Amino acid sequence: MSSHDEQVQQRQSNLAELEKLGIEIYPRTFERQHTIAALVEAHGSRTHDELEGEHVTTITSGRILAIRAFGKANFLVVSDGHSKMQAYIRQDALPELDFTIYKLLDFGDWVGIEGRLFRTKTNEFTIWASRVHFLSKCLVPLPEKWHGLTDVETRYRQRYLDLIVNPDSRRVFELRSRIVSGIREFMIARGYLEVETPMMQPIAGGAIARPFVTHHNALDMDLFLRIAPELYLKRLVVGGIERVFEINRNFRNEGISTQHNPEFTMMEFYEAYSDYHALMRMTEEMIAGVATQVLGSDQITFGDHQISLHAPFVRLSLREAAREAASRKLGREIADADLRDRDRVAAIAKELGLEVDPGSGAGKITTEIFERLCEDRLIQPTFVYDFPTEVSPLSKQKPDDLETAERFELYIGGFEVANAFSELNDPAEQRRRFEGQLKNRASGDLEAHAMDEDYIRALEYGLPPTAGEGVGIDRLVMLLTNSPSIRDVILFPLMRTRE
C-alpha cells in the first residue's frame, strides 16, 4: 500500500474510533466565542502576569496545523485561516473522553478548544485546554509544514491546499479583497453608481478581442461572453447615469500567459463631462491612494524593480515613444511624419524586424512598433497617450488631428494596467468606424470590432461628452502584491482538465 493510502486509512480508522465514542463526527455547528484572530488581537500582546491576573476563558476553533506530543503534555497549533495560536493539551486538565478524542486527532482536522489563555515558559501565547471538541476530519494527508506546497500546478488546481499551508497565498487574496474594496470606495465617494451589465451579449463589443460563444436554448440564440462591458455602460450614460462603474469579469478567447487569463476582472467606469486628461489625474490619484490605503505606502517592490506610485505619473505620447525608440534602435532620426505615412512606417517596421500585415495602416503599424520596443520598458507608471485613431474605434479624435484619438493606456511594471479615452459620441462617425472594422473583419481580422446597430441607436439619442476607462484589477493586484504571474492573484486560474 502506498504511503498516501496508508495515511488515508489511518485517518479513516481514527474517524471510525471517534464514531465509536458516540460523538457526532460531523457536528452541525459549533458555538465559538472568539476567533483565534480576535484572541490574538485582544490578548496576544499581554504578558504572562497580565494573563494570569485576567484569567480569560474562551471557546475557539480552527484547523490543526501541527501536533507536538509529549505523552501527557501536548501542543496543537490551530489556525482560523487568518491567525494561528497554540493549544496546550494536558491529560489531567481534560475530561477523559476529550483526551481520548485528542489522541485520535490528525494534522488537518478541525477542532474546537475551550480553555483559558496563558503564556508558556517559552513565552508562547497559548490556550490551556479544558475541553476538546471534534468538528471535522481531514481524511487526506496535507503537504508538510516546513516547505509548504511549492508545486505551482497543485497550488492552482487545489487552491485550498495552497491556502491551508501557504500564508503568503492567503495574504495575496486578502490584499486583493482590500484593493477591490478600496477602489469601490474611491468610486462611490466620487458619486459613481455601481451597476452590473450583461455578461452574455448578442454582439461582443467594446474591445478588440476574440470572444467565447455560447447558446441559449429557449431563444435558440447564440450569445457571446462579454469581452468588455463598455457599450452597455455608455448606454447607461445615455440614460442619464452620469457617473457609472462596474467591477466584473471579462472573457477573452485568447492565449494564456503570466499576464493573461481567459477570464479576468476589470473595473470599468464612465463619467460625463470628463475627458482623457481628467482621467489621467483621477487614475494616478486612485492607484496611489489605494496603494497607500492597502500597503501603507505608494512605494512598491515588483520583482527586481522599485516602483513609485506617487502621483503624478509620467506622460508620454505614443508616437513620441515609438519615434524615439525606433530612432535609437535604427541609429537615425525618425520623424513624426514617417510614422503617419503607411509605406514609410511599414518599411521602418520591417527594418525593426516586425511582420507587417498588408491590411494594417500606418496607425496600427506605429502601435505595433510601440508595443515591441517600448511596452516592457515602462516600469515606472507611465501614461502613454494619443493613440492612432485606426486602433481606437470607440475613441474620440483630437479636434486638430483626426488621425489621433484622445486615448491613453497606463503602463506599470512593463505591462498595461488601464486603458481610457474620451468617448466617441457622434453616431455618424461611430458608424463609419464600425464599417472600417468590418472591412478588417472581412479581410480575416478575427478581432475586428463588430457592427452594433443598437449601440449606434443609443448614441443617436445623445451621449454627452464623456470619458471612460477600464482598469485591469488582476494586474493591479499583481503589482501591489509583488506577484509575477496573474495566476497568483486569481484563486482558480483556468487549467486544462486532467483525465
Partner RNA sequence: GAGUCCGUAGCUCAGUGGUAGAGCAUUCGACUUUUAAUCGAAUGGUCGUGGGUUCGAUCCCCACCGGACUCACCA
- Of 362-381, binders to RNA (CB under 7 A) are 371-372
Cα–Cα distances in Å, from 486 out to 36, 134, 206, 263?
31, 38, 23, 11
* Residue 141 CB, nearest approach to RNA (Å): 4
Instruction: Map residue 36 onto helix, strand or coil.
Output: helix
Of the residues 20, 22, 28, 146, which one makes contact with RNA according to CB under 7 A: 146
Q: Is the dihedral of CA 147, 153, 155, 161 positive or negative?
A: negative
Omega within 30 of 0 (cis) for the link into 167:
no
Of the residues 115, 143, 381, 468, which one makes contact with RNA according to CB under 7 A: 143
SS (H, E, C) 172-204: HHHHHHHHHHHHHHHHHHCCCEECCCCCEECCC
Binding mask 433-472 vs RNA (x if CB under 7 A, - otherwise)?
Answer: --------------x----------------------x--
52 binds RNA (CB under 7 A): no
CA–CA gap between residue 138 and residue 130 (Å, rounded): 23
By CB under 7 A, how many residues form the interface with RNA? 75
Of the residues 75, 242, 317, 403, which one makes contact with RNA according to CB under 7 A: 75
- Name residues contacting RNA, limited to 96-125 (CB under 7 A): 106-107, 118, 120-124
* Residue 260 CB, nearest approach to RNA (Å): 5
229 binds RNA (CB under 7 A): no
Q: ∠ at Cα 386 (199, 426), nearest 5°?
A: 60
151 binds RNA (CB under 7 A): yes
* Residue 410 CB, nearest approach to RNA (Å): 10
- Name residues contacting RNA, limited to 154-183 (CB under 7 A): 154, 156
* Residue 90 CB, nearest approach to RNA (Å): 5
Q: Which stretch binds RNA (CB under 7 A): 242-250, 342-350, 390-398, 453-461?
A: 390-398
* Residue 444 CB, nearest approach to RNA (Å): 11
Q: Which stretch binds RNA (CB under 7 A): 7-15, 52-60, 235-243, 434-442?
A: 7-15
Q: What does 118-150 look like in DSSP terms, one character per residue? A: EE-TT--EEEEEEEEEEEE---SPPPPTTT---
DSSP at 416: E
Is the Cβ of residue 8 or residue 295 nearer to RNA in the bound state?
8
Of the residues 52, 57, 72, 350, which one makes contact with RNA according to CB under 7 A: 72
- Name residues contacting RNA, limited to 122-141 (CB under 7 A): 122-124, 126, 141
73 binds RNA (CB under 7 A): yes
* Residue 198 CB, nearest approach to RNA (Å): 19
* Residue 15 CB, nearest approach to RNA (Å): 12
Beta partners for 200? 225
As given in the structure block, the three cell numbers for residue 207 are 474591445
Q: ∠ at Cα 201 (199, 206), nearest 5°?
A: 85
304 binds RNA (CB under 7 A): no
* Residue 346 CB, nearest approach to RNA (Å): 15
Cα–Cα distances in Å, from 272 out to 296, 431, 488?
32, 21, 36
- Name residues contacting RNA, limited to 187-226 (CB under 7 A): 207-209
Q: Specify the amino acid at residue 353.
A: G
355 binds RNA (CB under 7 A): yes
Give the other-Cβ count within 10 Å of 296's Cβ. Answer: 8
CB proximity list for 185: less than 8 A, separation 6 or greater? none
Of the residues 16, 21, 42, 69, which one makes contact with RNA according to CB under 7 A: 69
Q: Which stretch binds RNA (CB under 7 A): 38-46, 146-154, 293-301, 318-326?
A: 146-154
Is the Cβ of residue 30 or residue 357 nearer to RNA in the bound state?
357
CA–CA gap between residue 155 and residue 404 (Å, rounded): 45
Sheet holding 200-201, edge to edge: 200-201, 221-225, 213-216
